[in-house]
Amino acid sequence: MVHIKKGELAQQEKELLEVIGKGTVQEAGTLLANKDVRVNCLDENGMTPLMHAAYKGKLDMCKLLLRHGADVNCHQHEHGYTALMFAALSGNKDITWVMLEAGAETDVVNSVGRTAAQMAAFVGQHDCVTIINNFFPRERLDYYTKPQGLDKEPKLPPKLTGPLHKIITTTNLHPVKIVMLVNENPLLADEAALNKCYKVLDLICEKCMKQRDMNEVLAMKMHYISCIFQKCINFLKDGENKLDMLIRSLLKGRATDGFPTYQEKIIRESIRKFPYCEATLLQQLVRSIAPVEIGSEPTAFSVLHQAITGQVGFVDVEFCTTCGEKGASKRCSVCKMVIYCDQTCQKTHWFSHKKLCKSLKVIYEKQHSEAARGPSEEEEDGQRDFNSNCVNEEPPRAETRASQDSATPGDCAEGEKAPRRREAGAECAQDGPAGPLAPEE
Ligand SMILES: [Zn+2]
Ligand SMILES: [Zn+2]
């Protein structure tokens, strides 16, 4: 490769840098078509056009430059920043993704020894941290779709690559979500297929630990998903799909407070079974989880989630009570204390939640009236509103007798922005909210 000196820019290269900041993709394209314009030229700080585009958050410019052969791993910047670091610092998720897909190395460090993910975490760009930590190029799975050595068959049938890759790259590691992803794909919800998949995951885990640039985060993630797959296999024996039962077990709350003990135990057990005891990450996880009594905070899931996604705390974002998906917005209209992605997630959780919904409602109302601590008139008004709606509007009848478990909380879910009070009223059965009336198991 031709050695490129810093700061020796041709006039048109200077123009290119300006166009990247202020101009259009067409203008940049015209300049790049010029023989005298080097796509990897360096300004006086050692920044390439791609670094400029990444830092300024110009997605289309980044794509154009990459098409023209921009070196995604150029490392000439005066402080050792790469294009991926600039992308992550700018907080642009799409650009971060594009850099990774273009082959950006994630373990390169800047002049003070920080990786792109660490730099992004430092400035609070947690979405970018998550993207970097969970990136796994699909091509790495392709290796397993070809028979290796003496194998007659590949370890992974090619048709499983897509579905498996989808799960590997998920940033929501909630066990229920993983089982849901398996269950929704007939190719995966199959004993033989999952047997192959979990073995491939174990191999990737091993590779992550043994390669020169060890990746404990990815290794732990692969191992954890492998453990969940092995649980799934137990519920797929003899050609029968009983994954719904697994989901129920994972969601079932204990009598006292609804805490999902089985789920907690499964996650703890998976972590403990990580085969590389010397791993720093494993030791960190065990240190955080071991002293915690089952049912107290932090849960094993939150500790694992934080370790793997690099996200600290759950500020300002709501997570689905059932599947842990980010940005859930439908609240149980009775207690308003739990939140879901949609009605499917709410229905799935109802068999467990129905035992606590009423007492949560009391807690909610207590908190609410304490928080209000303002004019008591308003509160009385609110109460009256709620009740009058209950009485006046004819509710859809919930099936309480026919099937206990499908006793649908269905229409309880509502958009957060919907006029809550009115909706709640509309769904109240004459003698109280429909959901909680469902007979106990
Ligand atoms: Zn959900
Ligand atoms: Zn509720």
Q: How far away, in angstroms, is 317 Cα from ligand 1 center?
A: 14
User: pLDDT value at position 409?
Assistant: 52
Local confidence band at 130 (pLDDT 50, 70, 90 cut-offs): confident
441, pLDDT greater than 60: no
In the CATH scheme, what architecture does the domain 11-133 have?
Alpha Horseshoe (1.25)
| Nearest listed ligand to the Cα of residue 251 | 1
Match 């920043």 to its residue by tokens: 81
- CA 325 / ligand 1 centre spacing (Å): 5
pTM here?
Answer: 0.71
Tokens matching residue 292: 């915690």
Ligand index nearest the alpha carbon of residue 328: 1
Residue 311, pLDDT score: 64
The residue whose two tokens read 């907690």 is 264
SS3 26: helix
What one-character-per-residue DSSP string does 218-254 give? Answer: HHHHHHHHHHHHHHHHHTSGGG---HHHHHHHHHPPP
C-alpha 182 – ligand 1 centre gap (Å): 15
Give which of 153, 62, 38, 123 is closest to 310, Cα–Cα.
Answer: 123
- The ligand with the least distance to the CA atom of 331 is 2
How many other CB atoms are there within 10 angstroms of residue 181's CB atom? 19
Count of H-run helices and E-run strands, the chain: 21, 5
Rounded Cα distance, 378 and 395, in Å: 26
**Range 214-239 average pLDDT:** 93
Q: Which ligand is nearest to the CA of 363?
A: 2
- CB within 8 A of 391, min separation 6: which ones? 430
Hey, where are the domains in the chain? 11-133, 136-313, 342-437
Least confident of 87-91, 158-162, 186-190, 370-374: 370-374
Ligand nearest to the CA of 347: 1
DSSP state of 144: G
pLDDT value of residue 271:
97
Nearest CA among 94, 84, 45, 49 for reference residue 67: 49
Q: What is the mean pLDDT of residues 281-299?
A: 94
pLDDT above 60 for 415: no
d(CA 229, CA 223): 10
pLDDT band, residue 191 (cuts 50/70/90)? very high
Pairing of strands 432-433, 428-429: antiparallel
The pLDDT tens digits for 293-324 are: 999 989 999 999 888 876 665 556 788 999 99
When pLDDT is averaged across residues 204-228 and rounded to a whole number, the result is 91
Task: Report CA 117 to chain centroid distance, whole Å.
Answer: 16
Distance 327 CA to ligand 1 centre (A): 9
d(C-alpha 256, C-alpha 309), whole Å = 31
Task: Measure the CA–CA gap between 227 and 182, rounded to whole angstroms.
Answer: 13
Q: Can you name the residues that pair with 141 across neighbouring β-strands?
A: none
The CA 387 to ligand 1 mean position distance, Å, reads 30
DSSP state of 150: T
> Nearest 5 degrees, angle CA 281-CA 267-CA 242?
145
332 with 409: CB under 8 angstroms?
yes
Ligand nearest to the CA of 176: 1
How much distance in Å is there from the Cα of 324 to the middle of ligand 1? 6
Residue entry with tokens 């300006």:
18
Directed axis angle between helix 261-272 and helix 243-251, to 10°?
A: 100
Mean pLDDT of the chain: 83
Query: What pLDDT score was predicted for residue 374?
Result: 59
pLDDT interval class at 215 (50, 70, 90) = confident
Ligand located closest to 438 CA: 2
